[in-house]
Amino acid sequence: EDQVTQSPEALRLQEGESSSLNCSYTVSGLRGLFWYRQDPGKGPEFLFTLYSAGEEKEKERLKATLTKKESFLHITAPKPEDSATYLCAVRVGYGGSQGNLIFGKGTKLSVKP
Amino acid sequence: DTEVTQTPKHLVMGMTNKKSLKCEQHMGHRAMYWYKQKAKKPPELMFVYSYEKLSINESVPSRFSPECPNSSLLNLHLHALQPEDSALYLCASSHPGTAYEQYFGPGTRLTVT
C-alpha cells in the first residue's frame, strides 16, 4: 500500500534556528514528490517537485532533497513568517493526464521571534 | 499566473439546502480536482476530471455531484448534506504533462447546520 509519513508532527524553532522536516514514503514507483506549504484556513501553496534520488531544489530559505526512501525539507535561518504546516505528497497513478497525490499528515512549524 | 479561484469563500447551509461550489483556472490545465480537508488533516481526494471527463470518484456519497462544464470551470453541487460534511473544500488543477504539479485554490469553508 502506498504510504507517506511525515515527521515530526510539530516543530517549534527560534528565529534563525535551522532544522529539517522529513517525509518518508513507500510507493510502487515514484512519479514525483511534492512539497506544499499551507497556512491556516487556506489552500496548499506549491513549493517544490522532486523526481529522482539526488535531486535538490531551493527557494529562499527552503531546500528540498530526495533519496530513494525519503525527502527532507531543510529550513535555513527561519523567520516567523515561515510558520505554517508543510505537506509532503507523492504522485501515484499510471498514464493519463491526472497526477493523483497521496498526502502525508504534515508538519506544523512554528517559528518564534 | 498560477491562480485557481474558488467561490464562495464561506458557505453555511442547512441539511435540506442545495448549493454549489465553483472553481476556475485559466492556466490551460486539463486536469481538475476536488479535495475535502478536515481540521488538522491532509486533503482527501474526492473527484478528478481529465479533459472534462470524470476519471476518478473516490467513493464519494451521491449528495456530492461534480460537474466540469468546460476546461476552465469545475463545480461541486451539494444536496442534503450532513453536519459531518463540514470542511474546507479545495479545488486544484494540473497541466497534462510530465510535471503534474497541482495548484490549489484558497478553498471554500463549508458549514452544514
A18-65 pLDDT, tens digit per residue, is: 999 999 999 877 788 999 999 999 999 999 999 999 999 999 999 999
Contact flag A99-B4 (C-beta cutoff 8 Å):
no
Best mutation site among B11, B102, B103 for testing chain A: the one with the most A CBs within 10 Å?
B102
Nearest to A41 among B6, B101, B109 (CB): B109
**Higher-confidence residue: B7 or B57?**
B7
Is residue A98 scored above 70 in pLDDT?
no
Asked if A44's CB is within 8 angstroms of B90's CB, the reply is yes
Contact (CB<8Å) B45/A100 = yes
Residue B30 CB neighbours (<10 A) = 18
Angstrom distance (rounded) from CA B112 to CA B95: 33
Distance CA(A28)–CA(B39), nearest Å, equals 29
Pairing label, strands B87-94, B108-112? antiparallel
pLDDT value at residue B14: 92
Contact B31 A36 (CB under 8 A): no
Residue A97 pLDDT more than 50? no
Model pLDDT, residue B101: 87
d(CA A4, CA A85): 15
Q: Label residue B57 by pLDDT band (50, 70, 90).
A: confident
Quick one: pLDDT at residue B1? 61
- Residues in chain B within 8 Å Cβ distance of A52: none
Closest-CA distance, A72 to chain B, in angstroms, reads 18
Encode burial over B8-27: b for 16+ CB neighbours within 10 A, e otherwise: eeebebeeeeebebbbbbee
Res B97: pLDDT: 59
- CB–CB of B4/B104 below 8 Å? yes
Strands B108-112 and B10-13 turn out to be parallel
- What is the structure's pLDDT at B76? 98
> What's residue A91's pLDDT?
85
Distance of CA A46 to the CA centre of its chain: 10
Q: Give the pLDDT mean for A80-89.
A: 97
The SS3 assignment for A106 reads: coil
Residue A75 cell numbers, joined: 529550513
Shortest CA distance from B36: residue in chain A: A43
Q: Find where cell 451521491 sits.
A: B62
Please report, rounded to a whole number, the percentage of residues in chain B having pLDDT higher than 70. Answer: 95
Contact assignment for A43 to B56 by CB distance below 8 Å? no
Q: Which of B91, B88, B79, B92 is nearest to B108 (CA)?
A: B88
The gap from C-alpha B6 to its chain's centroid, in whole angstroms, comes to 9
Among chain A residues, the shortest Cα distance to B110 is held by: A41
CA distances from B63 to B77, B82, B103 (A): 8, 9, 26
